[in-house]
Amino acid sequence: MRTQVVIIGSGPSGLLLGQLLGSNGIDNVILDRVGRDYILGRVRAGVLEQGTVDMLDEAGVGRRMHAEGLPHEGISLAFDNRLHRIDLTGLTGKHVTVYGQTEITHDLMDKRDESGLTTIYKAANVQPHDFDTDAPYVTYDKDGISHRIDCDFIAGCDGSHGVSRQAVPQDTVRTYERSYPFGWLGIMAEVPPADHELIYANHPRGFALCSMRSEHRSRYYVQCSLDDRIEDWSDERFWDELRRRLPKEAAEGVTTGPSFEKSIAPLRSFVAEPMQFGRLSLVGDAAHIVPPTGAKGLNLAASDVHYLFEGLRGHYLEKSSAGIDAYSLKALSRVWKAVRFSWWMTTVLHRFPDTDAFGQRIQEAELDYLVHSQAAAASLAENYVGLPY
């Protein structure tokens, strides 16, 4: 088989890139090692920057997002038993949209089917080859038969545990990493959200986040120990802990109910440099991971796709290699700013093992400064709604 671009990974970055390429007449094949239902069963991101929304519109999948997504013009920071609103729109003129990653993935998969583009699920042993030449190819096994796809470019959109980054000679890649000494326990429940906007709470017992997927479906997180197991957290224990970490007025707004999803995610910052190795480019989580505190992971995947798509469009439609040559530099410049912001939000909102009474007061002073200084609030807001591409 031959195509122009082989995309490894059918998460949001692979699907979005594939759709943008396809609608510009650039042929592509997506390979994923798991099945469609497994991908749609993963509960992940919920907050979209305007740039991400614009790209989904460009890909022709904005209809349901605009009908069902919730525009949010602010967020609340909770500390010292009080809620403080950050007026994102007043400070930046922009808003964010709450619309689940699961729904985006669904919309993109449906559009891909409609467009007649090829996706091969449950492809085993996917392997990129010869990307340091002008004739790269990808091999994989399906139903016990080996296949080869020749192509011009390979996009490694295969997440943090994918094969693309591993396929690169290890002396050509430099990695930067920070692990945080806690995780997030997240639940989803069919109950109305505590508030109409998100609440990020700093509390001596640990961080908590009130989020949502719709007016009837809530997504909540509490900071937990890395040793905790899901079985340790009954719904009852979760709701009690969540309410203890929120100011009274927010705790009273929490409607409890049975959870239908519960998972623990460790928190990590990670960046691989460069993001391009000849004709293989790394995109999204394959190149970088941020802790979810700043809601940046999916949004960074979208901005990477933007830069790579522009480069590939320049190559095919304008016969220019300038964009594709600049991919890694352009993407990394934005990536590091989001890595910095996510690290900072994590640091100021969580309880670390060495957070003592002094440390707690310093965090509260920083948060108090943030909500009362127009300049500091504007800096947070500008990063939260997303820096320009």
293 binds, among ligand PHB, ligand RFL, none (CB under 5 to 8 A by kind): ligand PHB
Minimum Å gap between C-beta 384 and ligand RFL is 11
- Contact track, ligand PHB, 199-218, x by CB under 6 A: ------------x-------
Nearer to ligand PHB, 48 or 155 (CB): 48
Nearer to ligand RFL, 39 or 53 (CB): 39
Residue 125's nearest CA partner among 39, 8, 229 is 8
- Contact track, ligand RFL, 302-341, x by CB under 6 A: ----------------------------------------
Catalytic center residues: 72, 200, 292, 296, 384
Residue 110 contacts by C-beta under 8 Å, 6 or more apart in sequence? 61
The span of 32-40, 157-165, 266-274, 291-299 binding ligand PHB (CB under 6 A) equals 291-299
332 binds, among ligand RFL, ligand PHB, none (CB under 5 to 8 A by kind): none
The span of 59-67, 138-146, 263-271, 290-298 binding ligand PHB (CB under 6 A) equals 290-298
Nearer to ligand PHB, 107 or 310 (CB): 107
Residue 250's nearest CA partner among 84, 68, 120 is 84
Quick check: 298 binds ligand PHB (CB under 6 A)? no
219 binds, among ligand PHB, ligand RFL, none (CB under 5 to 8 A by kind): ligand PHB
**Quick one: which of 33, 203, 219, 315 contacts ligand PHB (CB under 6 A)?**
219
Cβ neighbour number for residue 234 with a 10 Å cutoff: 12
Minimum Å gap between C-beta 58 and ligand RFL is 17
Q: What is the full DSSP assignment across 232-283? A: G--HHHHHHHHHHTS-HHHHTTPPP--EEEEEEEEEEEEEEE-SEETTEEE-
Nearer to ligand RFL, 295 or 324 (CB): 295
* Token output for 318: 């304008």
Quick check: 297 binds ligand RFL (CB under 6 A)? yes
- The answer for 93, left when phi > 0, alpha when psi is -120 to 50, beta otherwise, is left
Beta strands 96-98 and 70-72: pairing type? antiparallel
Quick check: 162 binds ligand RFL (CB under 6 A)? yes
Quick check: 46 binds ligand PHB (CB under 6 A)? yes
Separation of alpha carbons 312 and 310, rounded Å? 6
Residue number with the smallest Cβ distance to ligand PHB: 46
- In three-state secondary structure terms, 343 is helix
Q: Is there a contact between 209 and 200 (Cβ–Cβ < 8 Å)?
A: yes
**Quick one: which of 12, 193, 206, 292 contacts ligand PHB (CB under 6 A)?**
292
Enter the DSSP assignment of 291: -
Separation of alpha carbons 352 and 347, rounded Å? 8
Q: Is there a contact between 46 and 99 (Cβ–Cβ < 8 Å)?
A: yes
Please write down the HEC assignment for all residues of 173-223.
CEEEEEEEEEEEEEEEECCCCCCCCEEEECCCCCCEEEEECCCCCEEEEEE
**Quick one: which of 69, 136, 159, 247 contacts ligand RFL (CB under 6 A)?**
159
Q: At what angle do helices 327-349 and 297-317 cross, to 10 degrees?
A: 170
**Quick one: which of 47, 83, 126, 138 contacts ligand PHB (CB under 6 A)?**
47
Region 167-206 residues binding ligand RFL, contact defined as CB under 6 A: 186
On the 0-12 / 13-18 / 19+ scale of CB atoms within 10 A, 333 is: exposed
Question: Which chain residues interact with ligand PHB by CB under 6 A?
Answer: 45-47, 198, 211, 219, 292-293, 295
Question: Which chain residues interact with ligand RFL by CB under 6 A?
Answer: 8-14, 31-34, 39, 44-47, 101, 126, 157-159, 161-163, 186, 265, 284-285, 292, 295-299, 301
